[in-house]
């Protein structure tokens, strides 16, 4: 599949994976509708895309609000007349042990952004994706495959995303709409610095040793686009991520220990 002249709606486009995806898709001639909460950061993404042939618009959007997601899709149709791909990339992290949480509302916040935001955007875009026999893309995580210490809320939101899109894929089987769930591992973005801590506020500093085991954003985006081009149903980016679902069936306790050890190894003290 070529991205040239395709209309692509991309949430979480203001930084990290989203910004690099926008730039890479723009290079290939896609028409982009970029969404995020921060208008100034969105404008920086647009600036990074202006040297290429595709048209790009920014629509400041809070994906936790269903009405805002509806307006995002309506703006895409008003501007380009169609939607070929929706990439649900908006996300927020959470990093704290459950027994240390003092602001329980962080679970609602994380679920609203990571899961319900994808549900809202998908709901309003789906009629147009059916018309174009387009593609739904969910940027999930290996955390959608297994439990990970200090990430209860984040893991729950990614499990919800995985289950939703796996089910939707079955429902859309005869419509021509393909559903891709992408599961990266640790990627070199600032998501952990922005993650919510026990008190519900952004940490400001990653508790993880960011010098260890991170995939580059460039490589992550390359793999996402590779999977999109082939209209795959799922793409897990790491060997560990591919092994874990099978290992959990046979030696679930061993998987728990490996995951816990990995987090301890990569977390600063």
| Token pair recorded at residue 98 | 């459950």
Question: Is it the case that residue 236 has pLDDT exceeding 60?
Answer: yes
Question: Is it the case that residue 269 has pLDDT exceeding 50?
Answer: no
Give yes or no: 154 in active site: yes
> What phi and psi, each to the nearest 5 degrees, are found at residue 215?
-80, 145
d(CA 100, CA 145): 24
Cβ–Cβ contacts within 10 Å for residue 9, how many?
A: 30
Provide the pLDDT for residue 241. 77
Is residue 47 within 8 A of residue 34, CB to CB? The reply is no
Write out pLDDT tens, residues 133-174.
999 999 999 999 988 889 999 999 999 999 999 999 999 999
Cβ–Cβ contacts within 10 Å for residue 97, how many?
A: 11
The 135-139 sheet, strands edge to edge: 56-60, 31-36, 7-11, 85-88, 135-139, 178-183, 234-236
Cβ–Cβ contacts within 10 Å for residue 241, how many?
A: 19
d(CA 148, CA 259): 6
| Token pair recorded at residue 208 | 């993880």
Query: Which residues have a Cβ under 8 Å from the Cβ of 254 and sit 6 or more positions away?
Result: 247
Global pTM? 0.90
Task: Calculate what percentage of the chain has a pLDDT beyond 70.
Answer: 93
Nearest 10 degrees: Cα torsion 253, 254, 255, 258: 130
Write out pLDDT tens, residues 183-211.
998 887 766 677 888 988 888 766 655 55
Is residue 60 within 8 A of residue 42, CB to CB? The reply is yes
Number of H helices, E strands in the chain: 10, 7
Residue of 91, 84, 72 whose CA lies nearest to 136? 84
3-state secondary structure 214-245: CECHHHHHHHHHHHHHCCCCEEECCHHHHHHH
Give the model's confidence band at 180: pLDDT under 50 very low, under 70 low, under 90 confident, else very high. very high
Provide the pLDDT for residue 243. 85
Q: Which of 115, 120, 128, 154 is catalytic?
A: 154
Write out pLDDT tens, residues 23-68.
999 999 999 999 999 999 999 999 999 878 789 999 999 999 999 9
Exposed, middle or buried, 57 (CB in 10 Å: 0-12/13-18/19+)? middle
Q: Residue 85's beta-bridge partner residues?
A: 8, 135
């Amino acid at each position: 599949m070529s991205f040239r002249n395709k209309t692509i709606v991309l949430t979480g486009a203001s930084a990290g994976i989203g910004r690099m995806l926008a730039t890479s898709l723009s290079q290939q001639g896609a028409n982009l509708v970029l969404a995020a909460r921060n208008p100034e950061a969105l404008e920086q993404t647009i600036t990074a895309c202006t040297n290429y042939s595709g048209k790009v618009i920014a629509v400041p959007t809070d994906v936790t609000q269903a009405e805002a997601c509806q307006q995002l899709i309506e703006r895409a149709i008003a501007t380009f007349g169609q939607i070929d791909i929706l990439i649900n990339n908006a996300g927020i992290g959470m990093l704290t042990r459950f027994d240390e949480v003092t602001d329980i509302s962080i679970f609602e916040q994380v679920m609203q952004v990571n899961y319900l935001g994808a549900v809202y955007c998908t709901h309003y875009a789906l009629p147009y994706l059916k018309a174009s026999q387009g593609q739904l893309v969910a940027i999930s995580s290996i955390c959608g495959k297994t439990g990970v210490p200090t990430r209860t809320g984040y893991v729950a939101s990614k499990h919800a995303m995985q289950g939703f899109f796996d089910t939707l894929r079955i429902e859309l089987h005869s419509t021509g709409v393909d559903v891709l769930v992408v599961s990266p591992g640790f990627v070199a973005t600032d998501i952990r610095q922005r993650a919510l801590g026990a008190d519900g506020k952004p940490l400001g500093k990653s508790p993880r040793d960011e010098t260890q085991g991170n995939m580059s954003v460039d490589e992550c985006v390359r793999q996402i686009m590779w999977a999109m081009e082939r209209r795959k149903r799922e793409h897990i980016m790491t060997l560990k991520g591919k092994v874990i679902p099978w290992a959990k069936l046979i030696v679930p306790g061993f998987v728990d220990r490996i995951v816990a050890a990995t987090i301890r190894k990569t977390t600063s003290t």
